[in-house]
Every structure is written in structure tokens, then in C-alpha cells.
Structure 1
């Protein structure tokens, strides 16, 4: 039976059980679809598409070493994928397609249509759970329902895996140099600071697990230092799998899943949050349609204010930590996790602007854009989501700034206008700048008062 592997957001060779199964079934061909129009509809960031294309070029080279041909095919929309895939199967006499599941609604519908057409053509279409550790639907409560609160989900997840020492399926092939090659995809280089080769990625992973993971709990909220893993772009594209990371973690911390109160566990907790949001996305298709998880907040009257939204996007709200974070996003394609919460809270509570506008802007700029996690994070901040922060919790951007960037190091990096402002004024510099007669153009006034905005948000959500 001729077998074909279909790459999606699982752009890796190792720790890819679906790919290994295809190879064990004799696959000599793999396929990837460039869906530019569909990606645009999904608000994929140009920097993320660039990273994806660079990785595809690298994968093509690596697969050729094992005599596997990777075909990269232009298919603007998912419906074009369906036609191109079946045409490819006819031409190459493919009778078995293997791929990893995707959980977003459009992707699920695409696969359902392809499955129906494969049945008509006597082609087997097999999907694996390659993007999660716990298969979607396997972590349920006693009523066999999806958990709606993270903590019990985590407890059940740990209960299922606390005695498991994970391992990876061995790579089945030996190198056999061949002439197989594909046309290299053009890259604009905007993601070049993020390496895509296995050697660099292995070093990044090892450095984090060996040197930084034990400090993660203490350093993860400080944006001026590299206290986070930096692995989120690779997880978003499946360049690294969560299972692969857990295998590496367990090799250094064998009891990590039974020591959840230890600080070393904190980053593993983030992996479980990632699982939680994926399970939710699969269980509740409405999340892919941009609907509130908690329907009682459908009554919230969001403000439509283009000028204030523009100020938020451009980092000109007058709150330095918010503005520096937004500058970081636009300039680098990434934002520190603590700051994602701060700016999301500011948009949805201080400005009372619909979380969907912020979610879309993030996806259009983030190199680690991912619907499940992005939607989960935004609905958490907006208090409309599953296990979200209560609506009356409104981050004070000045207090957050004083706590997590006390000397203004991060602020000054992205707001050079404030370079000479003393530390004690850096978190809200307007009064100081006015007192020294600073040029009105050297910084912009706050577009909203914190106390008044907080009261307005609470009143809106009470309704």
C-alpha cells in the first residue's frame, strides 16, 4: 500500500509518531500545502509564516538524506488542499494518508470532507494526536465531561501520567543520500533570529532545562531578562512537540510529575495549560468562531473607539509598561507572557474594547500565534472565558510596572523617549515631565484614567 505523510503544524522529523508510522508503512513521499489565502483569513503573522517557510526548507533537506521526497504545493484555500491532495494521490497511486490532527474548526471541517472523499476512493486517511500529550477527550470528570476549571483538569492530567516515564519512538531510517529536492520557499528573513536547525534547537532546549527551568518560577514575570523558555514559536508550529520536551525534562527531573508543588514544576504547569486550551478548543467549536465561552457576558456592551484602539496598537496609551510591551510585539513579533496579560487587561477593561480585536491583532503579529492559547489567554483576561479571572480584577498598569520592571529597564529599551526619566517617575511620567517643562511631543498623555476606567469596566460587566 503506497503511503503518504501530510505535514501540517507538526514540522519535525523526530518525536513525530505519525510520520514514523508512515515511514514504517513504506512512505517515500511527504506533502505540505502553502495556504497563503487561508492563513490570511486566519490572521497568521507574516513573521510566523516566514519561520514556517524556513523550517519547510530545512525539513526538505533533512528528508532528502533519508530518500524521502517532500512536495510543497500551493493551495490558497483549504478547499484547494482537498482537490490537490486527491489529485496527488491519483497521480502517485497513494492508498494511505497519514497526518496529525488539528483542532481548529476550519481544519476539522476540511479533514471531515477529505475523509469522506477518501472513503469514496478507497483511500485510508489516518489521523494521530501529535500536538498534545493527553489525547483530546481523554481528560474528563466523573460525568465524562470536559473540565471547565483548570486546576481539576491538571490534577486529573497528572493522575493519568504521574507514573509515566515518557519515551520517544525510535527514528526508523538510516541516511541514504539521494537527489530528492524541492524548490526552496522564499523567505523575507524577518524570523531569522529564531533558528530552525536541529542542532540549534537542541541547544536551546538543553540550556533552558539545565540552566533556566529551576529559575523559571522566580524570573518568568520579569520582562527585562530572558527568564522564559523562548520555545513557544516552535511549539506553535510543531517544530518541537510537548512530549519531546517532557522526555527531556524527565531525563533531568525524573520525579517532575509527582512534585507539582516544587518550583521546578512551574514550567510543566504551562505545558498543561496548553493542553487545557487545546482540549477546550476541540470540545467547544464556538471558540473557533470567536464566541464568548461564558455566554452570560454576551450582554457586555463593548466600546467601539478606533482612536483608542489605534493608540493601544501603536504603544501610545500613556502607560509606559503597556506601551513598551506593544512596541516589543510590533518590533519583534513576540511579547513577554506577563505583559500579554497586562496589555489584554488594559484593552478589555481600561478601554472596554472587545477582546476579539486584541486577539486578532496578536495573531497578526505573534511569531507564536496559536488559536487555542491566544483565544484562551484573551478570554481569560477579558473574564469571558473558561476559568477566567473575575471581571472585577483589573490590572493596574502602574502597579504592574513598579512590581515587574522596577528600574524601568524594559520600558527604556522600547520607549527611548523616556531614557532620562528617573526610576521613581518612569512608571507614570506625565507629572514629572510637566514639572520640568518637557516638550509635549516627547511623550503622550494617558488616554484613560485608571480609577475611572476600572469603575466603568466593573459597571459594564455587572450588567
Structure 2
């Protein structure tokens, strides 16, 4: 188990149970990943840990319902390759099965593990599970990967048939779950070297049960998704991204529900299905073009001269830009590990096109703070906002942070939630307090530069600098 922390509709688990008489389920808290994290207080680790505990319980219940003597999860803490090979050898298994991961480092890791297992006389196989249509299933008529989303989505929808959405009936073969070796135990969070966060205080339940809970909450709201999804002050999105990221929820299950409602003419379901297509699209881009991890999708844009601007960078990180929607979004990220999708675009555009800072720095910052961090989606989103990626926002279209605020948080509900120092600012000024006259500032008890920052840049001037910056890139790059 890796990015698939559930025991229903699970490709690798289904194939293992169907093909073998005894199946052990394992999870590795990979020290190669954990030790690289900048903090021992990480919501993602806590979420994974809670989901692993839930998965262990789910496997035990699955085994009990089928009359199997076993069930449960073997958990290891160490280097993934070493742990899996040692465990496979000690159990005397014939084969190790897993679901595919499409990130470059994960692909290299799996190749090393497969080779080490083969040396030990143990087979390795992997299966499609975390995406609906994987990297080479949707290609152009010339057999090439798409670089523009709209034609990709058309081809994706044509291929997304009932077979692709059919769930794997794990329960049918659950009797083959093996009893765990003696002495197996699940390590507490502290034993992994991490401490509790505020995860329990957030509306983010973990594990399969938490995923089902959020899905049931979203289903009645799916019809309104098209209209509500862009407003951070409304409950308009699904909030399922972290569960799809760690596989506590089957992508086939949610897509099937969306397809069913879309077939009945539900526009909200059609738009949400498009978001699932974006997820597959970015996974495909990363797989075919692994250079995007560190470089622009369009090589010419690697020639852009970004600014260092340490003070501006720190202001963006600390939510002190003087643009309320940007600052509120960054505070949401810090306090919850989540950021509304519309706001991810706004703050990314602000960093790259108002502050002139390299998109890679923002991408890495999100990678450290987002609960639902996914390399393919995060990279694709940042390159879209920075206009360096495939099917990107045209470089001459630059989000105005004030207009975005006026349009998508008109009453300032979201802003006031995360910037309580602006609570008394009238609606017409909540989007840009710097435009207020001294008497207006005094009336609401706000002192710019003390209670709330003075804007770090002038948007109009910053826009002109960005237009100049990108105009120097050879047109062949755009």
C-alpha cells in the first residue's frame, strides 16, 4: 500500500487476492521521504498515520466478514527498498504487487525494488489505480502526448467508458487475507519522530471513513459546483483532494458518480469531471516530460530573468503583501494545510507576475505546506500560472489581485475569516485597504503599516515589468 490507503476497489489488492491463496498487506513509512521533511510537525504525516491505522482496522474487518483467519496491515519504518525486500524474503512470498506511481523518483525507486526482488527470486508487478486513464492511454492521432488540455479532455471523455469505471470487487476474494506474523504492531506517531498537529481540529477526517464522510457531504452540492467552486467564502468545492492524493477514496468511485450525474444533464458534475481530467492530464505531462520537475515545460522560458527579491519573497510567505485576498489565502495555507483552488491561481500569479519571483520557489513552498501536495498537479498548476507550462495562462494575461477579490469574495467573507484585523473595514474597501482615505482608516480603527501592511508593490507597475520580462523571451518559446 502506498498512495492507495483503502481496502475497497483497490487494483493491486484485488489482483493479489484473486491470484494467490495467502496475501499480506504492507505499508512502509519511508525514512527517505520522512527525513527530508523540514518539520517534525507535519499534517500530512499525521493524516497518513491516522489513515494507516484505519486501513489496518478495515483489513481486519474485511477478513472477519469473509471468514479469513487474518487481515491487518504490516507496517515498517525505514528505507522503502530495504524494508520491502527484507519483508518479502522473510515471508517467503512469490510476488510483490503494488499500484503504479508516475513520479520520476517513484518510477526509479520501483525499478530498483523490482530488480532487488528479482535477484531474490521474487516477482514484482504493478497496476493502474490512482488515475482513471494513465500516461499512454490518451494520445493524439499521431500517437503523441497532448500538450493542450481541451483536446485531451475530449479524447479522455471518449475513452472513459464503463470498463474504466468498474470497481475491483476486493470483497469477493477477501478470504485469502493472511494472518499477520507474530509480534506485528503499528508504531505510534511519536515513534516515527513526529508530533501531533492541529489536524484533529480541522474539518479533515482521515482514512476511508473520513473520505466517505466528505464524499457524502459533496454529492448533494455537486450540482452547484460550476457556480460555487470559485468562491472561497462558500462551501463550493469537494474538499476531497487529500483523500484522492492518498487513495483513501477510489478515483473510479467518484468519477462514476460524476459521470452518472453528468449524463442526467448536471453541469456541476460535468465541470467536476473536467477537474478529474486535469488530474490525469498533469500526471500524463509529468510522465512524458519529467524535465518539468526542475525546468519549464517550454525550454525558452528557462531564460526568463526572475528577481531574487528576498524581502518580497518573505512578505509573500508571511502573508504580508498588503493585498488581502493573497494574504488571507496564505494564512489559510499556514493554518490548515489547504488552499482553495481559485486562490492557488491568484497567489501563484501574484508571486510570479507581481513580485517577479521564480515559480519554482513557490512550487517548493506549496510542496512543504499543502496537505494534498501532488507533484504533477502542483507543478502543472504553478507552470500554468507562471505561463511557462503546457496549455498555460498566456503570459500577457495577469490576474489583478484586487479585481479577483472583488469578483470572488465580494463581501470579504473569506478575507475577514483569515484577516480578522480587517473585520471593521467596509465591504467596498476590504479588497484593498490602501485605497482608503485617512478618515476612513481612522473610522474603522486601522493603521496601515501597523495593523495591516502597506502594499509591497504597485500592481499596475508590476504588470508592466512582467510584460517587459516576458517580451524578451523569443517567440518560439511561446
Same fold flag (TM > 0.5) = yes
The answer (yes or no) to whether the contact 2:258–2:270 under 8 Å persists in 1 is no
Any runs of at least 4 consecutive aligned residues in structure 1 with deviations exceeding 4 A, and if so which? 42-45, 162-165, 174-181
Q: Could you say which residue in structure 1 is the equivalent of 2:206?
A: 196
Partner SS, residue 154 of structure 2 = helix
Partner SS, residue 127 of structure 1 = strand
Q: How many residues align?
A: 447
Q: CA deviation at 1:86?
A: 1.5
- Aligned positions of 1:186-225 closer than 5 A: 186=189, 188-192=196-200, 193=202, 194-209=204-219, 211-225=220-234
Mean CA deviation greater in 110-119 or 436-445: 436-445
The answer (yes or no) to whether the contact 2:24–2:178 under 8 Å persists in 1 is no
Matches of 1:162 and 1:89, distance apart in 2: 36
Partner SS, residue 57 of structure 1 = helix
Q: Could you say which residue in structure 2 is the equivalent of 1:38?
A: 33
Match of 1:72 among 50, 71, 75: 75
Q: Which runs of 5+ in 2 are unaligned?
A: 64-69, 190-194, 473-478
Q: CA deviation at 1:164?
A: 5.5
- Aligned positions of 1:205-354 closer than 5 A: 205-209=215-219, 211-250=220-259, 252-253=260-261, 255=263, 262-288=267-293, 290-354=294-358
Q: Could you say which residue in structure 2 is the equivalent of 1:108?
A: 107
Q: CA deviation at 1:196?
A: 2.3
Q: Could you say which residue in structure 1 is the equivalent of 2:2?
A: 8
Taking a change above 3 Å as real, the CA distance of residues 428 and 283 of structure 1, as seen in their structure-2 partners, is: same
Matches of 1:163 and 1:17, distance apart in 2: 16
Match of 1:357 among 361, 371, 374: 361
Taking a change above 3 Å as real, the CA distance of residues 378 and 176 of structure 1, as seen in their structure-2 partners, is: closer
Q: Could you say which residue in structure 1 is the equivalent of 2:188?
A: 185
Taking a change above 3 Å as real, the CA distance of residues 183 and 11 of structure 1, as seen in their structure-2 partners, is: same
Taking a change above 3 Å as real, the CA distance of residues 112 and 203 of structure 1, as seen in their structure-2 partners, is: same
Say yes or no: does 1:49 pair with 2:37: no
Q: CA deviation at 1:316?
A: 0.5
Q: CA deviation at 1:178?
A: 7.2
Structure 1 residues 348-383: Cα deviation after superposition (integer angstroms, max 9, x where no partner):
000010111111111111111110100000000000
Mean CA deviation greater in 164-173 or 449-458: 164-173
Tell me the TM-score normalized by structure 1. 0.91
The answer (yes or no) to whether the contact 2:104–2:290 under 8 Å persists in 1 is yes
The answer (yes or no) to whether the contact 2:222–2:269 under 8 Å persists in 1 is yes
Tell me the TM-score normalized by structure 2. 0.89
Matches of 2:354 and 2:108, distance apart in 1: 37
Match of 2:409 among 405, 411, 418: 405
Matches of 1:163 and 1:57, distance apart in 2: 33
The answer (yes or no) to whether the contact 2:52–2:207 under 8 Å persists in 1 is no
Structure 1 residues 272-309: Cα deviation after superposition (integer angstroms, max 9, x where no partner):
00000011111111123x21111110110011011111
Matches of 2:370 and 2:10, distance apart in 1: 25
